[in-house]
Amino acid sequence: MPRDPLPVLPAHPLDDRFGRDRAALRLPDFLKRKVGKGDAVRGVKHLLRGADLNTVCEEARCPNLGECFAAQTATFMIMGRDCTRACGFCAVGTAVPKPLDPDEPRRVAEAAAALRLAHVVVTSVDRDDLPDGGAAHIRATIDALRARLPAAAIEVLTPDFQGDPAAVRTVAEGPLDVFNHNVETVPTLYPRVRPRAKYAWSLGVLQQVAREHPEVVTKSGFMVGLGETRDAVFALMDDLRAHGVRIVTIGQYLRPSLKHVPVVEYLRPEAYAVYRAHGEALGFDHVFAGPFVRSSYNAAEALRHATEAAGV
């Protein structure tokens, strides 16, 4: 029997599934958020600019930036502002990247200490121009954080390293608390949403970490509203769990600009309960699902839920 449809709002008419818009993109009221401009937000931005550091919060135009910066937390984005890929959903710029800055790991550690972070999240652009995809630089950042903040939890959100096991191992041996790599969307949408990525690479990265480092919490996330079906999402979640993922994050795709892949539908808040229930039935330690959920949003809370579920 066909399943009941998810509670969604159509975004706007399309010429085809990924066609050109016939109408301007309009956000439902429940997806509108105010941009933070308080002293705490300005203080975090001033600290980051003074240290010549980037955050994915700013580069990816995260809707939670005001909330997170006001709480004096941020997700550091290392290895530059330019990505070697051009994913259809992502606001991060694509260009020929600059050489790596060997002093960046130290500055990340000093900024994390200045913010008094107990849970540090580090992500990066894709650097397919580098032989190891930047794995050694990520590892150097982990080492700097461990030396400066020995009691802090460290979470990395990594590229797929084009499936290179040696690069994955370099990062995963951190030591780390959380290894995060996002699958981003269901595999049938990869040609349009992640044209230079492979679903098998992503699953392989996650499975390798889960197998070789069971002490590390594995995490992955994806977006909804790109035209995926509910059964495709269920199958994706099945794959993640089968490959050792313990935390999954699910959030609404919000189009950064008219040059990016259009939103096909807006899921109402109650729709996420369907995916949350499926994930819990699969045995994930934590399923964090909601319109504004992003991979690094409330990362410390997600880790706490996962460790409690695992009885650690």
Q: What are the extents of the domains in the chain?
A: 8-309
Comparing 41-50, 51-60, 73-82, the range with the smallest average pLDDT is 51-60
Amino acid 65: pLDDT: 59
pLDDT digits (tens, 9 = 90+) for 30-42: 777 665 555 556 6
Backbone φ, ψ for residue 201 (5° rounding)? -60, -50
Higher local confidence (pLDDT), 230 or 58: 230
Adjacent-strand bridge partners of 267: 8
On the question of pLDDT at 106 being above 70, the answer is yes
Percent of the chain with pLDDT over 90: 58
Flag whether pLDDT at 11 surpasses 90. Answer: no
pLDDT tens digits along 247-301:
999 999 988 888 899 999 999 888 999 999 999 999 999 999 999 888 887 788 8
Angstrom distance (rounded) from CA 174 to CA 155: 10
Please give the pLDDT value at position 5. Answer: 62
Residues 6+ away with beta carbon under 8 Å from 38:
66, 70
pLDDT of residue 270: 87
Task: List pLDDT tens digits, range 211-249.
Answer: 999 999 999 999 999 999 999 999 999 999 999 999 999
pTM given for the model: 0.88
Q: Is 19 exposed, middle or buried (0-12, 13-18, 19+ CB in 10 A)?
A: exposed
Any residues with CB less than 8 A from the CB of 42 and at least 6 apart, and which?
none
**Residue 2: is its pLDDT beyond 90?**
no
Query: What's residue 67's pLDDT?
Result: 60
Confidence tier at 12 by pLDDT (50, 70, 90): very low
Q: What is the pLDDT of residue 126?
A: 94
Fold of 8-309: TIM Barrel (3.20.20)
Q: Are 75 and 121 in contact (CB under 8 A)?
A: yes
Mean pLDDT comparison of 27-31, 33-37, 201-205, highest-scoring range: 201-205
pLDDT score recorded for residue 297: 76
Rama region for 298: left / alpha / beta (φ>0; ψ in -120 to 50; rest): left
Average pLDDT over residues 73-86: 86
Q: What is the mean pLDDT of the chain?
A: 85
For the cut 60, the answer to whether the pLDDT of residue 304 exceeds it is: yes
Q: Sorting pLDDT into bands at 50, 70 and 90, what band is 28?
A: confident
Counting Cα atoms < 13 Å in the Cβ hemisphere of 203 gives 15
Nearest-angstrom CA–CA distance, 297 and 36: 16
